[in-house]
Amino acid sequence: MNQAAHLTSPSVSLQARHVSKSFTSGQIRSTVLHDITLDIRAGELTLISGPSGCGKSTLLAILSGLQPTDGGQVIALGQDLNLLGPRQIERFRLLHTGFVFQGFNLFPALNALEQVELPLSYLGLAPAEARRRAMASLEEVGLGPRMGLRPSELSGGEKQRVAIARALAKQPDLLFADEPTSALDAANGQIVIDILHRIARTHGTTVLCVSHDPRLVGHADRVLAMEDGRILSDRVPSPTSTPASGIEEPSA
C-alpha cells in the first residue's frame, strides 16, 4: 500500500468495462447489472448508493472478485480478474483486499485483538508482527482500551470498528464495505464513515462502499447513484465537516 498516495494525484486502481450480470430462477432470467463502466480511484471513499435491489451489492461482489461477470471486464490493480483462476483470485483477495460487512462477522469466543490477529496468520506474518499490526489497527479506530473484550461486551458500533480494524490490519490496497452502517444508529454510523474516509486519505487506500443510507452521501469523495442495475449519476458531493482528529464517541 502506498502510504504517500494521498500526496499525489489519485490514480485509477479499479476499473469495470461493460460489466453485466444476470441470475436465473427457474425459467426466469433477470439482468441485475447492465453494461457498467467506471473507474475507481485510490485515496478516495467512493460510495455506490441506491435503493435495495438496485444491484449495488452485486457490483461490489464482482469488483472485489467474489463473483464472476457474465460479460465485460474487471481490472483491479492492473490485473484482469477474468484471467485469474479460482486459486489466483483467492490469493489476490488475501493479499490486496479487505472487507467490511453489515453483520460484522465476528467470532463470539475471540476478543477484539484476537479477531484482528486471526486473518494475519494467513499472510504468513510472525506472531509478534501480527500482534503489532492488530494493536495498531485497533488503536487507529479508537478501540485500544477495548481490545480485550469479546463481541458480547461491545456495542454495535464497536463491533463494526473491530471489523474495520481487522480489514485495515492487512494493509489492503482495496477496501470494500457492504452496508457498513445500516445496523447502526446515527452517531455510530457517523463514526464508521469517518473512519473509512480517513483510511482512504491517510493510507491511500481505495475504499468502495455500497449503501442505501442517505446519511453517507455527504461524507464520500464521490457518489455513484444506481437504479435498476445502471449508474444514473456520478458526482462529487458538497463538503461535510468531519472530526479533525481522533474518534468522537457517541453520547449513548
Q: Which pTM was predicted?
A: 0.87
Element (H, E) at 220: none
What pLDDT is attached to residue 51?
Answer: 87
Confidence tier at 239 by pLDDT (50, 70, 90): low
CB 132 within 8 A of CB 88: no
Share of the chain above pLDDT 70, in %: 90
What pLDDT is attached to residue 6?
Answer: 39
> Distance between CA 249 and CA 252 in Å, rounded?
8
Distances in Å between the alpha carbon of 174 and those of 9, 56, 76, 179, 203?
A: 17, 17, 9, 16, 11
Q: What is the mean pLDDT of the chain?
A: 89
Instruction: Give the strands of the sheet with 28-41, arranged side by side.
Output: 28-41, 12-25, 71-76, 79-80
Does the pLDDT at position 154 exceed 90? yes
Q: Which residues contact 135 (CB under 8 A, 6 or more apart)?
A: 113, 144, 147
Exposure letters 124-142 (e unless 16+ CB within 10 A, then b): ebeeeebbebbbebbebbb
Q: pLDDT tens across 11-58, in order? A: 999 999 999 999 988 888 899 999 999 999 999 999 999 988 899 999
* Residue 186, SS3 per DSSP: helix
Q: pLDDT tens across 209-219, in order? A: 999 888 788 88
Q: pLDDT tens across 85-111, in order? A: 999 999 999 999 999 988 889 999 999
Q: What is the DSSP string of 53-69?
A: TSSHHHHHHHHTTSS--
Q: pLDDT tens across 111-134, in order? A: 999 999 999 988 989 999 999 999
DSSP strand pairing (97-101 vs 174-178): parallel
The counts of H helices and E strands in the chain are 6, 10
Instruction: Give the strands of the sheet with 174-178, arranged side by side.
Output: 97-101, 174-178, 206-211, 45-49, 222-227, 230-235
| Dihedral class, residue 78 (left if φ above 0, else alpha if ψ from -120 to 50, else beta) | left
Alpha helices in the chain (DSSP H): 56-63, 86-96, 112-117, 127-140, 156-169, 186-203
Domains of the chain by range and CATH? Answer: 37-50+88-235 (3.40.50.300)
Does the pLDDT at position 142 exceed 50? yes
Q: Which residues contact 70 (CB under 8 A, 6 or more apart)?
A: 20, 21, 22
CB 18 within 8 A of CB 72: yes
Give the three cell numbers for residue 248: 468522537
Does the pLDDT at position 179 exceed 70? yes
